[in-house]
């Protein structure tokens, strides 16, 4: 809450009847009095005024900045007539009256704040504290998860399916934790290990792999609405990438790999800049400071169009604020708040005040009055400063800029000397061409005309250049070839000097962080969500339904070493505070997401909607137990994943007997109670990464700028090979490819890569003919088929054994006799009917297996 401004010592506060009422009677009471006052706001007496109107209370005792009446007269919104605006003196009287405590000679009663959320609404299951309810003592199972699941299955008279075979389980756990299948060597190591804890030890190894973060970090980037590009990305040929934005992607991958506690993960993303002192640092930022600043890139994922002057308009500022508000509530609380932008939510216990209280935590950083664009641009000859900050202190940045300017000046001098040498050779070659082909009477005039820019030529000179200029034109290659030996040596020395100078340049990275800018502005509830119609002011806060009352949902600023408003840190602390209902909901949402990624659907099916319109949990006690386990294990996400994958529920088969299938489909056709493991198609990244891994093409390099894409003539989006640092860069894992909102890499797009507007809580899975056509005809898929065939051919010559190896690589199993016979037939047909080589024939077999459902699905 804002503290009461102090009046000048000895100053008597204004009194309503003698100081304020005359102002209101002159300017306002004609509309705001009588039997039907406008907006139901009667300003004719003190009691009616403090009662407020349609918008609620209009004055807050001692707090003018939190009083709607003060802002109305200060902005000139009231009175509405332009010629009846209150004078600055009158506005000050009203301000001093409010700050002085609403003094009046008449007695009046300040009404109690009307509770916006009912007790019944607060009873919604998702808003309750976490409760530990143990499974029924009669339920059985190897883990607590199994006991919870079996308790529900017992009630419907059914049982879990049998355990999956070891090969199926091995491929499943690799795909789920790493996003790629096991290699034949990894298969052999696991299958030959007869230790009782072999599977458990395998899980621990996979959780420790760097590829774990590449797999699970992608899930969070979906939730955060991450994209490398700026704005809406609605033009395929226009790719604008925010410098350094990829560092947030790397932060997320690193956070998952090092198992950053989830509560700290939340705090760093919402308020990393308020957790460290970074503003008065000398030299470079420490890794800790950099990490915390980069983490706030979570709040920079909204579609920000303010990257050019035409986009720098107030409406776009508020669109970023609205989108970011939705990203926060959806990602952490699994609540859809968009409706509350314009009015109280029709179904969920989310008021318009709740919405703008959360938005108020962002206002100091996303202040519309002091907006920073998402990308720098030039306007009126000046560069408009963007939000990105250098990864060094401002003092060190100035020193680096000064140093680089000196180096660049030396480079310019060297390049000038080189240009003079080449110019001398060019003139000699021009003379030679002119001597041999141009009449003497025209030579000098033509050479002079060619030396001028087109704008400086007169009509005669333009004519000469048009007709004869090409004859004496000298290309850069000709200049290079025409240099004499002395000049070549001089230029070689210059080039070496330039290269040496360039190495002296110091590059300063950019961090796309969010941080407070200027003074903390007042946040208003926007009438109908329109920025041009601000309503009453609100404090920063959380959702009232997750607090004991609306008043207690207001959050006090959190002290912080950065000296900023502390609003976002207060919100983050509220979310992870184990004593708050918000912490219970936060924990339920994230463990439900983990369960959904491993079991195909969440305990709460609607992973992004825990409100009354969302689905209730099928196993509420198990959901709360998992959430409590998360908190008890220091908010370790890996511990939750480990617990789930070690359960029999996770390890059961997707293949069931005809009898069990019939019974299961009768009792639980949607598999709500997890009596079998659902068959699931791989996500787009897992499809591409599996192809790369199986063909041993995959580049596991971590961190760095994205692999750039480009549109091609047939409408597809492909890798920009010309922009690669090295050929191997094109084989990086898919999470490192340029993430575009509107135009993803075509192979990923076909397999349901989301086109994210704000967030993506769970991807849609579609089965369409284009997927099969792509796998059959895409050059990338065929390339990997050729590579796999080459690897296998190098060590084996027997076709049968080669095909067995193809199966082990692609499907993590050996072929059946029927499958082997079919593949041999395909192999032999390719060699005899089409006259192909043995390698080409094996390529066809590899390509065929890549096109099977078994390769594209995980059992």
- DSSP of 290-305, one letter per residue? HHHHHHGGGGG-S---
Among residues 65, 99, 133, the one where a domain terminates is 99
pLDDT digits (tens, 9 = 90+) for 306-356: 877 777 788 999 999 999 999 999 999 999 999 998 988 888 889 989 999
Residue 9 predicted with pLDDT over 60: no
3 has pLDDT over 80:
no
- pLDDT for res 2: 41
Are 373 and 521 in the same domain?
yes
- Selection from 179, 168, 247 nearest residue 216 by Cα: 179
Range of the domain at 440: 394-507
pTM comes to 0.85
The predicted structure's pLDDT at residue 1: 38
Q: Is residue 179 part of a domain?
A: no
- Give the rounded distance of the alpha carbon of 825 from its chain centre: 48
Return the DSSP state at 339: G
Q: How far apart are CA 561 and CA 564, in angstroms?
A: 8
DSSP string, 595-632: HHHHHSS-SSS-TT--STTSPPPSSHHHHHHHHHHHHH
Residues 403 and 387 in one domain: no
pLDDT category of residue 4 using cuts at 50, 70 and 90 = very low
Q: What are phi and psi of 651, to 5 degrees?
A: -85, 0
Which DSSP letter does residue 243 get? T
Residue 220 lies in a domain: no
Mean pLDDT of 721-739: 94
Mark whether 80 and 61 lie in a shared domain: yes
| 384 and 527 assigned to the same domain | yes
Residues 321 and 385 in one domain: yes
Could you tell me if 315 and 387 lie in one domain? yes
pLDDT at 357 over 60: yes
Position 688 scores a pLDDT of 97
653 in any annotated domain: no
402/354 same-domain check? no
Q: What are the CA-CA distances from residue 416 to residues 409, 484, 498, 823 (Å)?
A: 10, 18, 11, 66
Q: Which of 203-207, 209-213, 794-798, 809-813 has the lowest mean pLDDT?
A: 794-798
3-state SS of 26-85 is: HHCCCCCCCCCCHHHCCCCCHHHHHHCECCECCCCCCCHHHCHHHHHHHHCCCCCCHHHC
Neighbouring CB atoms inside 10 A of 673's CB total 22
Residue entry with tokens 């089409």: 834
> Which of 507, 533, 554 represents a domain boundary (last residue)?
507
Do 376 and 324 lie in a common domain?
yes
Quick check: 622 pLDDT over 60? yes
Same domain, 484 and 406: yes
* pLDDT at 846 > cutoff 90: yes
Helices 838-850 and 799-811: angle between axes, nearest 10 degrees: 30
Residue 812: inside a domain: yes
What whole-number distance in Å separates Cα of residue 454 and Cα of residue 449?
Answer: 9
Residues 6+ apart with CB under 8 A from 342: 352, 528, 529
Distance of CA 720 to the CA centre of its chain: 23
The verdict on 366 and 259 lying in the same domain is yes
Over residues 800-811, the pLDDT tens digits come to 999 999 999 999
Distance of alpha carbon 35 from alpha carbon 39, whole angstroms: 12
pLDDT in tens, 438-463: 887 787 878 788 788 888 888 888 88
- Tell me the pLDDT of the chain averaged across its residues: 91
Q: Is residue 550, in this structure, part of any structural domain at all? A: yes
């Amino acid at each position: 809450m804002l503290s009461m401004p102090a009046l000048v010592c000895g100053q008597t506060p204004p009194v309503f009847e003698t100081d304020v009422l005359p102002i209101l009677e002159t300017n306002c009471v004609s509309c705001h009095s009588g039997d039907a006052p406008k907006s139901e706001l009667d300003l004719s007496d003190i009691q009616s005024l403090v009662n407020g109107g349609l918008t609620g209370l209009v004055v807050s005792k001692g707090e003018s900045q939190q009083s709607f009446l003060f802002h109305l007269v200060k902005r000139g919104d009231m009175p509405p007539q332009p010629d009846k605006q209150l004078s600055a003196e009158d506005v000050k009287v009203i301000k001093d009256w409010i700050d002085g405590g609403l003094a009046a000679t008449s007695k009046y009663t300040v009404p109690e704040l009307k509770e916006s959320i009912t007790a019944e609404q607060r009873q919604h299951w998702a808003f309750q504290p976490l409760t530990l309810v143990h499974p029924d003592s009669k339920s059985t199972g190897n883990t607590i998860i199994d006991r919870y699941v079996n308790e529900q299955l017992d009630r419907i008279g059914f049982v879990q399916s049998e355990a999956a075979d070891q090969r199926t389980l091995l491929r499943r756990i690799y795909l789920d934790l790493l996003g790629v299948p096991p290699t034949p060597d990894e298969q052999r190591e696991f299958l030959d290990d007869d230790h009782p804890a072999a599977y458990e030890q395998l899980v621990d190894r996979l959780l420790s792999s760097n590829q774990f973060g590449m797999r699970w970090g992608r899930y969070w980037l979906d939730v955060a609405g991450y994209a490398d590009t700026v704005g809406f990305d609605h033009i395929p040929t226009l790719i604008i990438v925010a410098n350094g934005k990829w560092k947030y992607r790397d932060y997320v991958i690193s956070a998952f790999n090092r198992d950053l506690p989830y509560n700290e993960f939340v705090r760093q993303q919402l308020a990393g800049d308020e957790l460290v002192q970074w503003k008065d640092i000398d030299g470079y930022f420490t890794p800790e400071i950099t990490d915390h600043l980069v983490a706030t890139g979570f709040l920079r994922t909204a579609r920000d169009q303010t990257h050019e002057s035409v986009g720098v308009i107030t409406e776009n500022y508020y669109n970023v604020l609205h989108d970011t508000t939705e990203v926060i509530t959806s990602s952490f609380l699994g609540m859809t708040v968009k409706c509350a932008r314009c009015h109280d939510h029709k179904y969920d216990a989310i008021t318009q005040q709740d919405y703008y209280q959360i938005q108020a935590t962002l206002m100091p950083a996303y202040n519309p009055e002091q907006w920073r664009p998402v990308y720098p641009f030039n306007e009126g000859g000046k560069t408009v400063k963007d939000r990105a900050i250098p990864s060094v202190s401002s003092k060190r940045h100035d020193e680096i800029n000064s140093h680089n300017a000196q180096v660049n000046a030396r480079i310019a001098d060297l390049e000038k000397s080189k240009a003079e040498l080449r110019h001398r050779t060019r003139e000699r070659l021009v003379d030679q061409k002119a001597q041999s082909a141009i009449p003497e009477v025209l030579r000098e005039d033509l050479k002079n005309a060619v030396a001028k820019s087109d704008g400086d030529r007169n009509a005669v000179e333009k004519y000469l250049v048009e007709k004869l200029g090409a004859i004496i034109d000298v290309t850069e290659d000709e200049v290079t070839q025409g240099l004499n030996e002395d000049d070549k040596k001089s230029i070689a020395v210059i080039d070496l000097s330039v290269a040496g100078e360039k190495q002296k340049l110091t590059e300063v990275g950019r961090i796309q962080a969010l941080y407070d800018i200027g003074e903390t502005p007042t946040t208003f509830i926007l009438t109908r969500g329109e920025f041009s119609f601000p309503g009453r002011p609100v404090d920063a806060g959380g959702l009232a339904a997750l607090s004991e009352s609306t008043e207690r949902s207001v959050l006090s600023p959190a002290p912080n070493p950065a000296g900023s408003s502390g609003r976002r840190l207060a919100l983050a602390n509220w979310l992870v505070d184990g004593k708050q209902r918000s912490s219970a909901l936060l924990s339920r949402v994230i463990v439900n997401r983990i369960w959904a990624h491993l079991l195909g659907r969440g305990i709460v099916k609607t992973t992004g909607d825990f409100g009354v319109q969302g689905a209730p949990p099928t196993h509420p006690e198990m959901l709360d137990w998992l959430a409590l386990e998360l908190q008890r294990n220091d908010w370790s996400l890996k511990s939750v994943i480990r617990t789930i994958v070690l359960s029999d529920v996770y390890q059961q088969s997707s293949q069931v007997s005809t009898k069990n299938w019939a019974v299961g489909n009768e009792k639980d056709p949607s598999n709500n109670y997890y009596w079998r493991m659902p068959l699931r198609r791989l996500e787009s990244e897992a499809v591409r990464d599996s192809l790369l891994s199986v063909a041993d093409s995959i580049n596991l390099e971590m961190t760095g700028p994205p692999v750039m894409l480009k549109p091609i003539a047939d409408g597809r989006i492909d890798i920009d090979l010309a922009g690669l640092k090295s050929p191997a860069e094109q084989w990086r894992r898919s999470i490192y490819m340029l993430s575009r909102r509107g135009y993803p890499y075509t192979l990923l797009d076909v397999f349901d890569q989301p086109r994210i507007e704000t967030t993506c809580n769970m991807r849609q899975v579609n089965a369409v003919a284009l997927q099969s056509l792509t796998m059959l005809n895409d050059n990338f898929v065929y390339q990997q088929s050729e590579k796999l065939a080459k690897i296998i051919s190098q060590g084996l010559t027997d076709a049968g054994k080669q095909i067995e190896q193809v199966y082990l690589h692609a499907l993590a199993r050996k072929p059946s006799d029927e499958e082997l016979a079919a593949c041999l037939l395909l192999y032999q047909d390719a060699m005899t009917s089409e006259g192909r080589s043995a390698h080409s024939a094996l390529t066809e077999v590899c390509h065929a297996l890549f096109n099977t459902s078994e390769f594209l699905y995980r059992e």
